[in-house]
Amino acid sequence: MRSSSVLSRALAAAVLVVSAWLGACSTETETKTVFVDPPRFNAPPDTVNGFLGYYAAEDGQTTCGNCHVDHQADWSQHGHADAWNTLQNSGHAASYCVGCHTVSELGNAVDSAAGYNLVQDTVYHDVQCESCHGPGFDHVSTPDASAPPLASIRADTASLADGTCAECHAGTHHPYTEQWQASRHSEFYSGAITNASCQPCHEGRGALRAWGVTDNYTERNDVVTAQNALGTTCAVCHDPHGSSNAGQLRFPIDDPSLENNLCMKCHSRRFELTSANSSSHGPQGPVLLGTAGWWPAGFDTTPAPSTHGDATANPRLCAGCHVTRITITDSTGNFQLQSVGHNFRPIPCIDPATGEPLDGYSNACAYTTTERNWSSCVSSGCHNSATAAATALDASNTVMEALVDQIWLDTDGDEVLDFGTDGGYLAQVPTTEFVSNDNLITVGEGARFNAQLFGAHLSHHPDASRGSHNPFLTQKVLAATIQALRSQYGFPAPPANIQAIISKALAKGATPASLARH
């Protein structure tokens, strides 16, 4: 609010009250003081659309914040609250930029010039509440808690008519929406429509409910259908009202815990073998932190984190590799595109002509320095060059595949363990060792779980990092698994090259004391 004027009125009123009280002691004349509340809103400069903007621009007090004080306090701490000055101080402000740094028709359902784009008034500076919620004049004139002006949490460019984040967070300098829309985060799993247990990770509203978000928004109470289902939209990961985390994220990305790390809240679903859970699903977080997998009896279960999962060496953890900015220039050094990493590929395939990262589904290219961009590996400080990173990944993948194949070689590629037909130790394990719902976990079942966890070709939901999330954990667990299979079922020693890998992996501190069946 206008802090100085409010204080002056309060002091004047206090003097009148004191004077009236003192006068009552010496005169029969009664003095009465009438307090009148100041209006909670000013007339909107844009009278056509009814955008109110700031109540007191000099104080950064929004009109909406006169009542919604909690949101005002949160919003005032993040980048939207300083969007105008950020633009002016950028050194490259252009006329076409102002609409996204002010209250305007962008980001809400108004479809013609409005707010600052219609009336250049300072009350419309910065990205305020109405930028997403739309004009507030009708609401403040006749407040109705049952019909508040709500914002949408959709983000795809096809929904621009309804007003979305895409109207501003897009374009060559900040293609957040375009990259997100080309990633798997933009899609929903069809099974989430009928299976409520899938919704906390596979449908936007389900995730917000699971995380205890009670804010209201346009789609909140809709029954989820194939037509209106949402993916992991911007507002799922980012809190538009503000948060204490970088980028207005709802949860931190530097916290190495499954409960509080933003990415790991979903990427840590099934990572341990239990009698009710025979396959992995989204195990990346625990693999990164070194706690995933079936551990043979006697195996050292102390977490085996790699530098990728060390918050000291890699502070942003998952995002340190999966969300990386890449500036694309042409052959003469002229700017072409600022990739913002919202395709979520750590080493994305690139357009051979421009070097531009391809969309999130384009992952069929070779793992070479010419077909992929390795910026995340180098900028993080983990590897000193793209060549070094590519070499390390290739080595990790080669070792991982050799160990998995020793456990289970899926000869026909059907992802089904064909006893006596497939290769590896598992195809020789008696079928009686694989009984569901008997509350017993056999070495055979544990070995199958580990093979599926790390072998991307053996499961639809593996770690799928080619061993890079945690090569130490991958190699130790698989090496110990091979030893357990041999001990339990009397299998012969593997080839010399595999035995050398096993010896090296177990020599790093995770040699099982015993490998008895459990």
Q: What is the CA radius of gyration of the chain?
A: 30
Clarify whether residues 25 and 58 are in a common domain. no
In a 10 Å sphere around its CB, with 0-12 CB exposed, 13-18 middle and 19+ buried, how is residue 364 labelled?
Answer: exposed
Q: Are residues 145 and 21 in the same domain?
A: no
Q: Which two structure tokens, joined as six digits, stand for 102?
A: 């002010």
Q: What's the half-sphere exposure (Cβ side, CA atoms, 13 Å) at 501?
A: 27
CA nearest to 174, candidates 342, 322, 331: 342
Tell me, yes or no, whether 207 lies in a domain: yes
Q: What is the DSSP string of 16-48?
A: HHHHHHHHTTT-SPPP-----PPPSSPPPSBTT
Residue entry with tokens 């970088």: 246
Task: Looking at the structure, tell me whether residues 80 and 217 fall in a common domain.
Answer: no
> 234 with 228: CB under 8 angstroms?
no
- pTM to 2 decimal places: 0.87
Q: What is the dihedral of CA 78, 205, 212, 127, to 10 degrees?
A: 10
Q: What percent of the chain has pLDDT over 90?
A: 75
Among 209-218, 295-304, 490-499, the range scoring the smallest mean pLDDT is 295-304
Which of 224, 250, 276 is the C-terminal boundary of a domain? 250
Calculate mean pLDDT across residues 195-220. Answer: 94
pLDDT value of position 196: 87
DSSP 430-495: -GGG--TTSS---HHHHHHHHHHHH-GGG-SSS--STT-S-HHHHHHHHHHHHHHHHHHH-PPPPP
Counting residues of the chain whose pLDDT is more than 70, the rounded percentage is 90
- Tell the residue number behind the tokens 């928004």, with chain if given: 217
Closest to 2 (Cα-Cα) out of 45, 61, 63, 52: 61
Whether 346 is in a domain gets the answer no
Per the domain annotation, does 215 fall within a domain? Answer: yes
pLDDT (average), residues 267-272: 94
Shared domain for 71 and 210, answered yes or no, is: no
pLDDT (tens digit per residue) in 277-306: 888 999 999 999 999 999 998 887 787 778
Do 299 and 395 belong to one domain? yes
The angle formed by the CA atoms of residues 141, 146 and 149, to the nearest 5 degrees, is: 60
Quote the CA–CA distance of 148 and 143 in Å, as a whole number.
Answer: 8
Last residue of a domain, one of 197, 226, 250: 250
CB 403 within 8 A of CB 480: no
Amino acid identity at 366:
A
Would 266 be classed as within a structural domain?
no
160 is a domain residue: no
111 and 232 in a single domain? The answer is no
Q: Based on the fold, state whether residues 103 and 237 are members of the same structural domain.
A: no
Confidence category of residue 16, pLDDT binned at 50, 70, 90: very low
Q: How far apart are CA 235 and CA 177, in angstroms?
A: 12
Token pair recorded at residue 277: 């859970």
- Is residue 1 predicted with pLDDT exceeding 70? no
Query: What was the pLDDT predicted at 30?
Result: 58
Q: Quick one: pLDDT at residue 510?
A: 42
In a domain, 293, yes or no: yes
**Between the CA of residue 320 and those of 292, 314, 396, what are the distances in Å?**
20, 7, 19
Number of domain units in the chain: 4
Query: Within this chain, do residues 126 and 242 fall inside the same structural domain, yes or no?
Result: no
Instruction: Return the closest-CA partner of residue 399 out of 469, 466, 480.
Output: 466
Same domain, 127 and 199: no
Residues 126 and 246 in one domain: no
Choose the most confident range, by mean pLDDT, from 28-37, 43-52, 271-280, 304-313. Answer: 43-52
Half-sphere exposure of 361 (CA within 13 A, CB side): 6
| Residue span of the structural domain in which 210 resides | 180-250
Question: In terms of domains, do 143 and 194 share one?
Answer: no
Name the H helices within 29-79.
Answer: 69-75
Token code pair at residue 43: 């007339």
pLDDT number for residue 21: 38
- Whether residues 300 and 441 share a domain: the answer is yes
Residue 34 in this model has a pLDDT that exceeds 80: no
Judge whether 498 lies within some domain: yes
pLDDT digits (tens, 9 = 90+) for 131-187: 999 999 999 999 998 899 999 999 987 766 678 999 999 999 999 999 999 999 998
Residue 5 lies in a domain: yes
